[in-house]
A and B are shown apart, each in its own frame.
Chain A
Amino acid sequence: MAELEVRGEEYEAQHVHSVYEEIASHFSSTRYKPWPIVEHFLKGLPDGAVGADVGCGNGKYLAVNSKVFIVGSDRSTNLVQIAKSHEPHTAIVADNLSLPHPLHSFDFAISIAVVHHLSTPARRVEAVKAILDLLLRPKSNDQPQSGGRALIYVWALEQKDSRRGWDEGHEQDVMVPWVLKGGEKVKKEKGKKRRKDDVPKPNEEERVVPVQEEKTFLRYYHLYKRGELEHDIEEAGGLVVESGYEKDNWWATAVLRGKE
């Protein structure tokens, strides 16, 4: 029961980063349909708007609007190799807590299903702050919405109708399995398994058959409870514009809070 491993960067390297690197190809094949609110957000941008997709994964959101310019970044080189094909955008390998962007230089930023992989409260707030710090500052303090805008999605604790079945009051820090099929391994089948009338010839004692070997990977998630994403945004210096719940996820759009 007791969590013996100390959560933080090393923990995430083992329980998040290395897992995505391993499952990249299979994961990507299951991630192609954009979530409607994200799609709507991206399609509503003017031509030539510039944004960042922090934790872009296989780049499924880079495919939504080819009239804006998005610099997608992800920790997984294997996923970025898949993401880079989406024109006219760019995909780079970067850590979401050490993003290589000038501060306050983007019209918009999205980070979809990413912040919930950070394993301490402080690191989650830091991740949200890193997203907000990309946004253009508002033109004046009393017009916070004139600056850049971020859209953040995280997995919800409250999802009792999903196949995972988590709900209010459950443990928020969980390990979620990813079952990787395939990885065809060649197994040698002994001659004794043959049918009786199957006359074995010399040097044909073994034959080779492919079998599907299953491997399960566990990824760390912090499941967000109601109000928690908004709290993290406020804590990180942001102002929540809109927020809601969609398909087992909490989402929010945010701008930078003007300085007092």
Chain B
Amino acid sequence: MKLLTLNFLTCAIKTCKSSPASFPLHPRDAELEVVEADLNLAFLKNILPRLMWDELRVIASELGLPALPETPPSKADLSIPSPTAPAPATTLQLDPEAIDAPENPPVVESDVEEETPSQTAVDLHRILLETCITEGKLVCGNCGHEYAVKEGVANFLLPGHLV
């Protein structure tokens, strides 16, 4: 189960949902696994405003992962700024043959919105989408109920008396 999931999970017990202590659920005895996944920059940018940053920092620290920065990155932090208008002076000095060389892509290419993910984006992707809990428990900070995670699947079925 990807750590991003924890951003959208709370206790299944209805009376806990109104209590701030029920979010986030706290991983306990967790076994982690990193599963590589494709990075989608648009996805990361759009998901950014939805992240409960302080809570994710708590989870990362509870799991012994590298600390997340104190404040969430901005959308702009996630991509490497694309080169602005090309410097004409240097281009003109180039040997005309070099313009056709693959090292010098035509200027039109910069119109295509091909952004490069920054290290910040790569790190965020690693923590949220590639780091998975395979075994362990998720514990409600309000009622203390423990939900088991087995083979990467968290089970939120409640015993009859808690429904």
Contact = CB atoms under 8 A, between A and B. Distances in A.
Q: Do A and B come from one complex?
A: yes
Interface of A: 9, 46-50, 52, 67-69, 71, 73, 75, 77, 80-81, 84, 87-88, 90-95, 97-103, 105-106
B5 A93 contact: no
Given A48-B44, A100-B10, A101-B10, A84 B156 contact: no
A68 B25 CA distance: 23
B12 A81 contact: no
Given A98-B163, A101-B10, A106-B8, 13 more contacts: A46-B46, A48-B43, A48-B45, A67-B42, A81-B153, A95-B12, A98-B156, A98-B158, A100-B10, A100-B156, A102-B17, A102-B23, A105-B50
Contacts of A9: 163
Interface in B105-155: 129, 147, 151-155
Interface residues of B, number: 34
Contacts of A103: 17
A105 B22 CA distance: 15
A49 B42 CA distance: 10
Contacts of B8: 50, 52, 71, 101-102, 105-106
Contacts, number: 98
A91 B42 CA distance: 23
Interface string B19-47: 00001010000000000010010111111
Given A69-B4, A88-B129, A93 B153 contact: yes
Given A71-B5, A102-B23, A105-B8, A93 B154 contact: yes
Interface string B77-105: 00000000000000000000000000000
Contacts of A69: 4, 43, 47
A84 B23 CA distance: 23
Contacts of B58: none
B27 to A, nearest CB: 14
A232 B13 CA distance: 24
30 contacts: A9-B163, A46-B46, A48-B43, A50-B50, A52-B8, A67-B40, A71-B5, A73-B156, A77-B153, A88-B43, A88-B129, A90-B4, A90-B5, A91-B153, A92-B1, A92-B9, A92-B155, A93-B153, A93-B157, A94-B157, A95-B156, A95-B157, A98-B12, A98-B156, A98-B158, A100-B11, A100-B12, A100-B154, A101-B9, A102-B17
